[in-house]
């Protein structure tokens, strides 16, 4: 049996707070720094590695973090989760997203179903559907092939699939795997849907309505918006739209769609990229085989998350270093900085993954805690970010721990030697330079040009961003967030914090307001 305890009840946490701070600047200077870069690295799946040489930790800190992992029973809690424990206590739900991409433990039977079999069945149904779309067996009313797929959804029903699509679009083009272009409509701002519709040949577009609940205001509004646009073109919306939803939702088993594919309440929106939510759009866009490779990358990384030794478990180590930074070093934020343009929406996805999961003030029993939980997360691809917010990261008054991601090779294979180096070499040179500049700083007589250093970072390095490495990368962050939630003793799988605003918006639209809400309604002309 696992013991759900608050972080500050653990002896190892008290020991962690008593350790002397590590001077990263000294550790990362000269030969000592070179040795650290070689030693402080953990292999991940699919040839990736997690390098934490530029984090403010040493062997003493790592030893106590291992004790913390053991005392907090992080591995046992993960086992409880994947063996079908009711870990989402707030909503009294299982947490089963790992089953979409593999079998880490026992069969989980719920709702009278073997859940792994159910998720695989949906993948197979999507694969069969995609093949019929490519062959033209499923086509528009004139019998012409669909060429574009447009996903309608928001939050977890948008960010992950969109980020994954963008991450692989260029790889797919370069490798002859792009079957259909994909576009996304999420915001209830009518200009979002209008812009997509205006740039899409709707007669040859297949729309995927994605909503687990089937009740999300923005998504249902955008669905009607799209249906109206289709009708204006003389097209029958039911011949242009499929649904991805849960079987309990009002969208399920509905004649208004060409077909429907299912996930369930045991997969949180932000963890749903490996379910039918990501599966439909990614299988249609890149082919089911490519989606299967993405899932294999996730499954391979999930296996590393079963290790009890933190030096063999990159997600757990990353999580614990994050706890050390948040609760001992008292850093408020973290930035995700992929040196890969293809990962342009990856930080936005991680923002939801991390902040919706661990942005909590009460523990899993509803009791307030005496320590900080999830950090504020933001990020942008490098090198663009370097010309934007890195000034604050280098010389600002906040220390922001950084998570770099970098690849040795680009995706498109198109590159030139310009002034002695390729663009890819310039990209990689920048990330290496940034890590060392943040860690070691630079002295100068002019205080304005002085860099204090001691700004910690880690990097995940791979050869190339492919379906497999992308899967491994995503699973790493999903599991990292999960382990941090276990350490903070919060329920990372509900999101009550996003409900209040939704309820009040409905009141405004129904004109049931008074006080400040009525005044703002007037100001906005509602």
Interface with ligand F6P (CB under 6 A), residue from 66, 151, 219, 275: 219
Interface with ligand F6P (CB under 6 A), residue from 211, 283, 334, 454: 211
Hey, what are 288's tokens? 């089911």
**Does the footprint of ligand F6P cover residue 313 (CB under 6 A)?**
no
CA-based end-to-end distance of the chain? 54
176: Cβ contacts below 8 Å, ≥ 6 apart: none
Q: Which residues pair with 210 in a beta bridge?
A: 244
Hey, what are 88's tokens? 């989402």
**Does the footprint of ligand F6P cover residue 148 (CB under 6 A)?**
no
**Does the footprint of ligand F6P cover residue 151 (CB under 6 A)?**
no
Interface with ligand F6P (CB under 6 A), residue from 33, 84, 156, 347: 156
Alpha-carbon torsion, ordered 89, 272, 492, 341, to 10 deg = 180
Q: Please confirm, yes or no, whether 253 is among the known catalytic residues.
A: no
175/221 with CB nearer ligand F6P: 221
The mark string for 247-286 relative to ligand F6P (x by CB under 6 A, - otherwise) is ----------------------xx----------------
Interface with ligand F6P (CB under 6 A), residue from 392, 412, 498, 526: 498
Interface with ligand F6P (CB under 6 A), residue from 41, 88, 216, 440: 216
Interface with ligand F6P (CB under 6 A), residue from 36, 97, 101, 212: 212
The whole-angstrom separation of Cα 162 and Cα 167 is: 8
Question: In this chain, which stretch among 152-160, 164-172, 189-197, 384-392 interacts with ligand F6P, using CB under 6 A?
Answer: 152-160
Q: Reduce the DSSP state of residue 246 to 3 states and report it.
A: strand
Query: What's the burial of 182, exposed, middle or buried (CB within 10 Å: 0-12/13-18/19+)?
Result: buried
Q: Reduce the DSSP state of residue 93 to 3 states and report it.
A: strand
The mark string for 345-384 relative to ligand F6P (x by CB under 6 A, - otherwise) is -----------x----------------------------
| Least gap, CB of 275 to ligand F6P (angstroms) | 11
Q: What own/partner pairs with CB < 8 Å and gap ≥ 24 does 426-434 have?
A: 426/383, 427/339, 427/382, 427/383, 428/339, 430/339, 430/382, 430/383, 430/386, 431/337, 431/339, 431/382, 431/404, 431/406, 431/459, 434/337, 434/382, 434/386, 434/390, 434/404
165/390 with CB nearer ligand F6P: 165
Binding footprint of ligand F6P on the chain (CB under 6 A): 154-157, 211-213, 216, 219, 269-270, 356, 495, 498
Query: Catalytic amino acids?
Result: 356, 387, 502
């Amino acid at each position: 049996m696992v013991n759900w305890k608050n972080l500050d009840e653990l002896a190892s946490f008290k020991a962690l707070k008593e350790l002397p701070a590590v001077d990263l600047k000294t550790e990362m200077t000269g030969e000592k720094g070179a040795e650290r870069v070689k030693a402080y690295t953990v292999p991940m799946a699919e040839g990736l590695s997690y390098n934490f040489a530029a984090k403010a930790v040493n062997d003493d800190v790592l030893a106590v973090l291992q004790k913390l992992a053991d005392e907090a029973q992080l591995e046992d809690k993960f086992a409880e989760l994947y063996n079908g424990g009711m870990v989402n206590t707030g909503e009294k739900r299982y947490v089963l997203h790992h089953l979409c991409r593999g079998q880490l433990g026992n069969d989980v039977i719920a709702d009278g179903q073997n859940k792994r079999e159910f998720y695989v069945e949906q993948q197979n149904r999507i694969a069969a559907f995609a093949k019929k779309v490519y062959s033209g067996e499923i086509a528009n009313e004139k019998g012409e092939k669909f060429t574009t797929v447009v996903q309608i959804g928001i939050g977890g029903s948008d960010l992950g699939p969109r980020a994954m699509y963008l991450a692989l679009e260029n790889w797919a083009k370069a490798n002859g795997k792009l079957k259909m272009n994909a576009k996304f409509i999420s915001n209830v701002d009518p200009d979002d849907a209008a812009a997509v519709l205006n740039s899409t040949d709707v007669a040859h577009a297949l729309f995927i309505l994605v909503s687990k609940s089937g009740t999300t205001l923005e998504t249902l509004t955008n669905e009607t918006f799209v249906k109206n646009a289709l009708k204006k073109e003389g097209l029958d919306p039911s011949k242009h739209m499929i649904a991805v939803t849960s079987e309990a939702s009002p969208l399920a088993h509905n004649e208004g769609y060409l077909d429907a594919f299912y996930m369930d309440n045991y997969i949180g929106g932000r963890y749903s990229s490996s379910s039918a939510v990501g599966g439909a759009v990614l299988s249609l866009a890149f082919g089911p085989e490519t989606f299967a490779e993405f899932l294999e990358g996730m499954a391979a990384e999930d296996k590393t998350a079963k290790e009890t030794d933190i030096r063999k478990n990159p997600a757990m180590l990353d999580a614990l270093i994050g706890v050390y930074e948040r609760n001992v070093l008292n850093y408020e934020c973290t930035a995700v900085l992929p040196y890969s343009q293809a990962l342009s929406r990856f930080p936005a996805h991680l923002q939801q993954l991390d902040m919706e999961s661990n942005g909590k003030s009460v523990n899993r029993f509803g009791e307030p805690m005496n320590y900080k939980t999830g950090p504020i997360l933001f990020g942008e691809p490098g090198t663009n970010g370097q010309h934007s917010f890195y000034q604050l990261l280098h010389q600002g008054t906040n220390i922001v721990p950084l998570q770099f991601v970098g690849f040795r090779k680009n995706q498109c294979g198109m590159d030139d030697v310009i002034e002695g180096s390729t663009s890819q070499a310039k990209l990689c040179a920048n990330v290496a330079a940034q890590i060392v500049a943040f860690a070691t700083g630079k002295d100068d007589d002019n205080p304005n040009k002085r860099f204090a250093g001691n700004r910690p970072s880690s990097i995940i390095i791979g050869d190339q961003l492919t379906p497999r490495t992308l899967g491994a990368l995503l699973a790493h962050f999903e599991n990292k967030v999960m382990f941090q939630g276990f350490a903070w003793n919060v329920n990372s799988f509900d999101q009550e914090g996003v409900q209040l605003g939704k309820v009040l918006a409905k009141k405004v639209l129904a004109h049931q307001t008074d006080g400040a809400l009525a005044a703002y309604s007037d100001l906005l002309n509602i």
